[in-house]
Amino acid sequence: MKDERSQFRGHFRFSCFLAFITFTASLILLASCGHSIGKEDKGRKPVARVYNKYLFEDELLGIVSPGTTAEDSCKIIGNFITNWTKEALILNKAEANLTDEQKNVEKALEAYRQSLLLYAYEKELVRQKLDTVVTDEEMEEYYKSNQNNFQLKDNIIKVIYVKVKKKAPQLAKLRNLYRSDQPKDIEALKSYCHEFAENFYLDDNSWLLFDDLLKEIPIETYNKELFLRNNRFVEVTDSLHYYFLNIKGFKIKNSMSPLSFERENIRNIIINKRKLMLITAMKEDVYRDAKEKKDVELYK
């Protein structure tokens, strides 16, 4: 620490000398205004003062990262001192202009402390006792009971997608494979993609956002819904690649969102409901137990 302090002190004194010479002169003038440093600060070197508050050189340790240039170090230190000075001045203004009631922050601090304690206790309770297993039956029941809450905000699709370079081999074979629903052709398509494709997606049981797919494929359309309704097999190209698209299914925004697309969302909703119920039950149990033990009295 001693070496670090000495290195910092030398860096501060010599690298920043020219930039801070005027500022330091003004500090010397301020320091001569009759304000003294406490005995506990003996030996500490002040670099700034605002009224009776001091910023000491050792408080600047660590604000400059190792390897920072002398010029950048000078700016960082200068900005830190300037910001400290401004905040100290504003704090002094606040002390002078606010009423005693406004300056009394003890209640706010205690309320904040209590909220932190409650949050920590509830978090630990949830960690220990919350059941996070959600069955398919529970998700399906919730979906059926709350269908008005599952309206699509975007177009979604089920798709097979393959991207290959224009010089890729067996393109005629690929054009047949990506259109086929035959199991043997699907397996052949997987093998082809693993060997030759730049990118591909073959999970046609999962829903994807159409907009996410458009980030991968250079399809230009002014009406996405019309495009989905009028296209099944799509082949587009750019200067380097071919893109093959087999749209297995789609749903238009503002229509009913399918359960398979909402499963993770529903799971989170159910778990959050359980969490609220667990916390509410805990509060009721604590209250009831305290009343039975006469630890709580309500005065009229």
Three-class secondary structure of residue 5 per DSSP: helix
Three-class secondary structure of residue 255 per DSSP: coil
146 with 158, same domain: the answer is no
Q: What is the pTM of this model?
A: 0.65
Res 196 pLDDT > 70: yes
Residue 45 sits at the vertex; the CA angle it makes with 44 and 46, to the nearest 5 degrees, is: 115
Q: For residues 9 and 47, which has the higher predicted lDDT (pLDDT)? A: 47
Tokens describing residue 34: 């009759």
Decide: 30 and 49 in contact? Cβ < 8 Å: yes
Where does the chain show beta strands of DSSP type E? 46-50, 53-56, 156-165, 199-201, 208-209, 233-237, 241-251
Domain count, the chain: 3
Decide: 56 and 47 in contact? Cβ < 8 Å: yes
51 with 77, same domain: the answer is yes
Tokens describing residue 73: 């170090």
146 with 157, same domain: the answer is no
Taking the C-alpha atoms of residue 147 and residue 211, their distance in angstroms, rounded to an integer, is 24
Res 256 pLDDT > 70: yes
Q: Which of 251, 272, 287 corresponds to the end of one domain?
A: 251
146 with 156, same domain: the answer is no
For 15, the domain range is 2-97
Tens digit of each residue's pLDDT (9 = 90 or more) over 61-71? 888 888 889 88
pLDDT interval class at 19 (50, 70, 90): very low
Decide: 193 and 162 in contact? Cβ < 8 Å: yes
Residue type, 168: A
136 with 278, same domain: the answer is yes
- What confidence score (pLDDT) does residue 212 get? 94
